[in-house]
Amino acid sequence: MNTEATAVASPPAVSARTTLLTLVRRELWEHPALWRVPLIVAGFLAVAAALVSTRATIDVDAGHLAQIGPGIHAMVLNVSQDAFAAVIWLFTAVVVSFYALDCLYAERKDRSILFWKSLPVSDGQTVLSKFLTAMVAAPLAAFVLATASHLIAFAAWWLRSHLGGGLPDLVGWDTVAWLRGELLMFLVMLLAVLWYAPLVAAAMLLSVAVKRSPVLWAFLGPLLLWVADLLVFHTGWVASVAKYRSSGIWDALATRGGHQIVIDEHTYLLHALNWGAAFGLVDLWLGVLAAAALVYAAARVRRYRDDT
Amino acid sequence: MTAVIEARGLSKSYGRHRALDAVSFTVGAGRIVGLIGPNGAGKTSALKAILGLTPFEGELRVLGFDPRSQRDELMRQVNFMADVAVLPRWLRVRQALDYCAGVHPRFDRARAADFLARTDIAQGSRVRELSKGMVTQLHLALIMAIDARLLVLDEPTLGLDLLYRRKFYDTLLNDYFDRERTILLTTHQVEEVENLFTDVLFIERGRLVLDASVEVIAGRYRQLTVSAEQSARARALQPFYEREVFGRVAMFFDGRSEAELRTLGEVRTPSIADLFVARMQGTLQS
């Protein structure tokens, strides 16, 4: 084969936005639990709350009934908003955790990585799309679902309260309070995403690096460290790091001047919480940097991970 | 002729095992090249190096790109199909088309859909619902719709029945190959595809033992079939391999003319499958 070397002009790439959206869609196809579980939970909450509202009866004596006004309406609205969001987010967090541990392992397990790598998508784009699915798409979907299911349930309560009787005038619409509640939920979600980003990125690195059973590694690894620390080193470091990484941001958010923030019916949670301390926490941003480094490492490992 | 793949001293080791040992070869544009070797010979390592899927030593340029540092640019012009099991089982046919259209600048969705319309594959089906042959047809539809310069096939018909295998290669040759594109193919079913090849690379224990076009093979190699009585005379001409066939002896020669051998028995150009066995056995014996 007598030949001479040649360089071939590369055709233009698909736009980065189109590629990224396609990659995220692929994640949602492959891991439907990411949207199905929050959707089912949100649907269940909305239906259950609506059903309950058709049967429940709350007796409020005349003295208390007279006190019900816009303040109580706003509180009921905001508390129910928070409750819906908390339940849906909890399920989403569990699903995202398992997703992060599986997303780079599943493609190796079924050898489909050879198909994905036969197309012009870089390892960086692939890993980034998985990280964004976990850290942006799933939380945003949970946020939208929490809002929608709460609105459905709240509409049912409102109708019962105003048309059907049985519920006293506890339920009243307050647009400003609702927007305040949505903003609160959005900021809490943003904090959660930023704070737990290094954990998700670490799970993804585990997913791409271990030979098998990333879920087992994720639970056994920290457990063994904790036991070793408890029995051999006696520093308590593992337990304190685990506790800090799970709740440190919420401690900062709920503390002002060294004291726990106290909430009463005259205080809006949005105004009372210490957002400055939470978003200004150095460890929050160090965690984000660590997450970026871990995502980069996962992409590098995927580049030459060869167990097909 | 321009080079599509140019390898110089290509080496790959897995621990102490040397999968590729300073291999050098060139693949030109518009060729259909068979990369042929026994299991563990280094075929897949070579393909993975070409596709930038594994680190390696030595020099390697594919379409002018270094697969190590320019894989992303390279894969816009290279198509790759491993055996049929690599399409994810959860994927729907429609999603496969959507995905390729969303990431590949040279994917023609209409062409893929048109190809699929001629099969029994429904766009709503999941890969796990398709037979092996249908999965291969789906993968082939995706490949046919990508306007790539180089197609790399690694045992693409493994586990398929004869009808699907034949259909696969017929489609590839009639509807895909246009004498400008290059196809690099590994397969164990050499007999079925040897008429496709324009060139062959025989690889054994990480080393190339033959790098030639079919024209060169036709001019250089001879298979002489002689009776047992004539075998001693023929053996004096130093065949590199021989085997008994129904009481006669088939001998393989490198560089002997047809006229030189004709007086001893029946002479023909060996098939690529026979030449492969001869070279492998000859290599092993030497």
Render pLDDT for B87-135 as a digit per residue (tens, 0 to 9). Answer: 999 999 999 999 999 999 999 999 999 999 988 999 999 999 999 889 9
pLDDT tens digits for B254-277?
A: 888 888 888 888 999 999 989 988
Q: Which of B3, B79, B86 sits opposite A114 (nearest CB)?
A: B86
Q: Which residues pair with B10 in a beta bridge?
A: B23
A-side interface with B, Cβ within 8 Å?
1-8, 10-14, 18-19, 21-23, 25-26, 29-30, 107, 110-115, 117-122, 304, 306, 308
Interface-testing mutation among B48, B104, B147, with chain A (most A C-beta atoms within 10 A): B104
Q: Report angle CA A123, B44, B280 to the nearest 5 degrees.
A: 170
User: Into which CATH architecture does domain B3-86+138-205 fall?
Assistant: 3-Layer(aba) Sandwich (3.40)
Which residues in B lie closer than 8 A to residue A108 (C-beta atoms)? none
Q: What sections of chain B are H helices per DSSP?
A: 43-50, 71-74, 93-103, 109-117, 132-144, 162-171, 190-193, 214-220, 231-235, 258-262, 272-285
User: Which has more confidence, B129 or A14?
Assistant: B129
Stretch 215-274 of chain B: residues touching chain A, C-beta under 8 Å: none
- Which residues from chain B sit within 8 angstroms of residue A25, using beta carbons? 98-99, 102
How far away is chain B from the Cα of A8, in angstroms, using its nearest Cα?
6
Residue-wise pLDDT for A92-141, tens only, equals: 999 999 999 999 999 999 889 999 999 999 999 999 999 999 999 999 99
SS3 B19: strand
C-alpha A73/C-alpha A17 separation (Å) is 43
**B53/A contact by beta carbon, under 8 A:** yes
Task: Encode chain B (286 residues) as per-residue pLDDT tens digits.
Answer: 578 999 999 999 988 899 999 999 999 999 999 999 888 889 989 999 999 999 999 999 999 999 999 998 899 999 999 876 789 999 999 999 999 999 999 999 999 999 999 889 999 999 999 998 899 889 999 998 999 999 999 988 887 888 888 888 888 888 888 878 899 999 887 888 888 899 999 998 999 988 999 999 988 999 999 988 888 888 998 898 988 888 899 999 988 888 888 888 899 999 998 998 888 876 544 3
The interface residues of chain B toward chain A in range 148-187, judged by CB-CB distance below 8 A, are: 149
With beta carbons less than 8 A apart as the criterion, state whether A131 and A295 touch: yes
The confidence score (pLDDT) of residue B286 equals 38
Q: Say yes or no for a CB contact (<8 Å) between A4 and B3.
A: yes
The H or E element that residue B268 is part of is: strand B266-268
Work out the pLDDT band at A70, boundaries 50, 70, 90.
low
Local structure of residue B146 (DSSP, 8 states): B
- Using a CB-CB cut-off of 8 Å, the residues of chain A touching B61 are 5
**Is residue B106 within 8 angstroms of chain A, CB to CB?**
yes
Backbone angles phi, psi at B196, to 5 degrees: -75, -35
Q: Could you say which DSSP state residue A255 is in?
A: E
pLDDT given for residue A164 in this prediction: 64
pLDDT value for B123: 93
CB contact under 8 A, A306 and B90: no
User: Could you tell me the residue ranges of all domains in chain B?
Assistant: 3-86+138-205, 216-285
- Going by pLDDT thresholds of 50, 70 and 90, the confidence category of residue A49 is confident
Q: Which of B1, B64, B90 sits opposite A3 (nearest CB)?
A: B1
How many interface pairs between A and B have CB atoms less than 8 angstroms apart? 132
Per-residue confidence at A186, pLDDT binned at 50, 70, 90?
very high
* Contact (CB<8Å) A114/B79: no
The per-residue pLDDT of chain B, averaged, comes to: 89
DSSP state of A42: H
Round the average pLDDT of chain A to a whole number and report it: 87
Backbone φ and ψ of B154, nearest 5°: -110, 100
pLDDT of residue A12 exceeding 60, the answer is yes
Token digits for A195?
């704070």
Do B99 and A111 make contact, defined as CB atoms within 8 angstroms? no
Q: Which residue type occupies B35? A: L
Whole-angstrom distance, CA of residue B240 vs CA of residue B132: 40
pLDDT of residue A106: 93
Evaluate whether A233 touches A147 at the Cβ level (below 8 Å): no
- A267: helix, strand or coil: coil
Residues of A in contact with B149 (CB under 8 A): 8
Place of tokens 């059973």: A213
Q: Is the Cβ of B28 closer than 8 Å to some Cβ of chain A? A: yes
Chain A: closest CA distance from residue B54 (Å): 5
Q: How far apart are CA A32 and CA A51, in angstroms?
A: 28
- What share of chain A in percent tops pLDDT 90? 58
pLDDT of res. B168: 86
